[in-house]
Structure 1
């Protein structure tokens, strides 16, 4: 069974056995490649009977599987989906892979009449929570802190799959009554609002009178527009911003330390020291960045000059010390959002490279509350002062 989008492009393909069980499936990813599902592929740990994910260019031919083995997840009865399965190694999936599989699960579950599904696996992470928001709606909808409720196992999920469109020039669009997510030239743009959840969306999807814009967004305003779509998700125009300009210049060490402290304060206790360590090894600078807010390299991270200019304008318009300090704090928080994934990934890699006994000591801190010595707060306060001096002078 092949499924196509309204433009006639293949989106997914499923093969069912005579007894009604799933023989194989594949789903198309935003970059045009395919993720294949091999049901009942193994009985190895950690879950026993498991389905396997492959990355492949073509649908598997009879008698074998082609492509790259990625990871496994709890085996599903695909004809009677009753839960959201646990995935062994999420980091091995290509961009958009987890969302594509979850959307397939949501589509089939809705067709089968499954009203609510639960996730009871060992990894109720923020990353999984955000991925689920793209294909399900959580209940209770009035949860005060939906992420905390998810991590505590208190949410169930109603299937609400999105429409997937593969458009001109490699454009990929997700819609549920409105355009919610766009991928173009490897960059993913998101709505900031998902049910009651406010998502950090520096690459943002927003409605305007002409249609739907995909923009760089920071400090409460658009900095650069990249795409104009119709409300139905059709590409109307690729917008080419002015060439990025500005000489690279270092960002003050106090700003870097404060941003790292903000990332560490919002991360798990085992990661916090490693985050601050890896941040000290990175040169942070302002400078020209093309079609993005940051440029990540091995030993440095460049923050777009457009962010700096926007902050300078915000500080100039702020009246008095209090509003200026508030604007600088907002900038520290947004910089932490921009750099956080990279710093956490490097910190995780550093922990993974430690000897087993050192890893065990770090993991013993899991669940430990943030340090109460005020160190992170002082670092953030110093970063505010440094930003006011550097940008607001």
Structure 2
């Protein structure tokens, strides 16, 4: 049975295919019963579903069979995010996690444990729902890496019941082989940029869940890639020690040199597991990371992430989740922020009730035209070059040559980007065409913004260039990973030269770009 077929069987609430794959009888029946219970109720009556799952007899009590490793009954247990975990206590303390249902009763995780020769639990495979609603799979001892051996594979797959999409079952990345029943540290991933967006997030959260179940706190990252991108990814499921800015600087010190030296060094920064609880809503391609019964930490619409921010102005740019007071009470808005103000609203949520409603910009980007009609329009050369130089200056030295070559070779256009300020892929660089009208509206209406045109121009450059820099660095890293490992000293020297040249060019170009933007030039619409 392939991963795709196994996921389809689990979603179908069928115990027999799960038992055929070696899942213990009691566990297979419990998973199937939990999925059936979740499917039997409309997602609206939350209290009804909680009672149904909470009162369901454990597999042992109902005579379904004895699961391995159990010192007390296997049971569905409530999670802080309103969902349910199928787990059993183990003799050395903590819990052994088998499956998870979200608050609407949908399966979001399935783990298969076998027994080692010493009688200890050993992970055979784990599958968890990723933010884009595909499944992320961890396959112990099935990886093939030049960096470490033995290796565990990371793959992703869409079940047959999902909408069409990529369905890779081959390993897309690896990490050093782990004892998942006794995790001691956060492991590295060799090719994070090769993973579909969100898959790495799901795997890190699985590790945080297992560490939390095993009462491991604190833990440290052990590997050669203490990059800023990894720090941000870890913060979704772990809490670093100390103030965030200090922790980031401490974690990323000498990141580039260490990465290309391949040193498996344990970083001194302690982390505490703080896993989120996921909820999935396939009809809306929605994935919610809950920090408690009514606090959303991050919302995903497909591959677009919307992270929580404070409602004070100016707000940080990008996909955001913020609280608003409405006549109906407090609500959470999901949308884009640019120039310090909400820019697009895609969804409104009532976290206390666990309900979501589509907002006015939900369908944006599907028509493939700009706000005033027509297709994509190229960015003016001055704005495009300034964005390229900014991205080169802001990335790590090792990525600078790849980012410079990438940005210079790809077309850059104003386009109807759905649910993001920018989109960067091998086909080109797209910038949200609505930024032009948004800038002009704020500049023309002092009641909406106290900032003058010059200040707004600086904010636009900062917001737009920062978004492009992140996307270009991600794609540049993927290209670099696909090439033979370069000589470290030469790569870093070339990167610093590239950044110095970009810094000089940006210093000459940026004042002219800001002046033109303040006049409403260089913008679409």
TM-score tier by shorter-chain length is: 0.7 to 0.9
- Asked if 1:218 is matched to 2:338, the reply is yes
Q: 1:370 to 1:199 in 2, by over 3 A?
A: farther
* Structure 1 residue 356: Cα displacement: 7.5
Q: Is 2:297–2:307's contact at 8 Å kept on the other side of the alignment?
A: yes
Q: Counterparts of 1:112 and 1:336 in 2: how far apart (Å)?
A: 42
Contact 1:215 1:223 in 2 (8 A): yes
- Give the whole-Å Cα distance in 2 for the aligned partners of 1:333 and 1:190: 18
Q: How does 1:281-292 map to 2 (within 5 A)?
A: 281-286=409-414, 288-292=416-420
Q: Would the aligned equivalents of 1:312 and 1:391 in 2 still touch at CA under 8 Å? A: no
The one-character-per-residue Cα deviations of 1:256-311 (angstroms, maximum 9, x if unpaired) are 12222221111122443553444344444445445443455766544333211222
1:381 to 508, 511, 523: 511
Residue 206, structure 1, aligned to residue 318, structure 2: no
Change in 2 beyond 3 A, CA 1:122/1:376:
same
Q: Does 1:239 align with 2:340?
A: no
Q: Does 1:125 align with 2:227?
A: yes
CA distance change for structure 1 residues 56 and 294 in 2, over 3 Å: closer, same or farther? Answer: closer
Taking a change above 3 Å as real, the CA distance of residues 283 and 144 of structure 1, as seen in their structure-2 partners, is: closer
Matched length: 379
The offset of 1:231, in angstroms, is 1.2
2:186 corresponds to 1:81: no
Identify the residue that residue 9 of structure 2 maps to in structure 1.
none
In the TM superposition, residue 146 of structure 1 has moved relative to its aligned partner by 2.8
Q: 1:159 aligns with which of 263, 266, 273?
A: 273
- Output the CA distance in 1 between the equivalents of 2:505 and 2:431: 25
Q: Which of 462, 465, 470 is residue 336 of structure 1 equivalent to? A: 465
After superposition, where does 1:62-211 map in structure 2 within 5 Å? 67-139=169-241, 141-142=242-243, 144-152=245-253, 153-167=267-281, 169=283, 170-177=285-292, 178-192=295-309, 202-209=318-325, 210-211=330-331
Q: Aligned in 2, Cα 1:44/1:325: closer, same or farther, shift over 3 Å?
A: closer
Distance (Å, rounded) in 1 between the aligned partners of 2:143 and 2:398: 32
TM-superposed CA distance for 1:54, in Å, is 2.7
Question: Is the partner of 1:340 in helix, strand or coil?
Answer: helix
Q: CA deviation at 1:167?
A: 2.4
Structure 1 unaligned runs (5+)? 59-65
Bigger Cα Rg? 2
1:279 alignment partner in structure 2: 407
After superposition, the CA RMSD in angstroms is 3.4
Match of 2:434 in 1: 306
Aligned residue number for residue 392 of structure 2: 264
1:251 paired residue number: 379
Judge conservation of contact 2:127–2:137 (CA < 8 Å) in 1. Answer: yes
Contact 1:14 1:22 in 2 (8 A): yes
SS at match of 1:68: coil
Secondary structure at 2:222's aligned position in 1?
coil
Counterparts in 2 of 1:201 and 1:114: CA distance versus 1, 3 Å = farther
TM superposition shift of 1:134 = 0.7
2:85 match:
none
Change (3 A) 1:232 1:37: farther
Instruction: Give SS of 2:182's match.
Output: coil
Long gaps (5+) in structure 2: 1-97, 160-167, 254-266, 365-369
Quote the offset at 1:111 in angstroms.
1.6
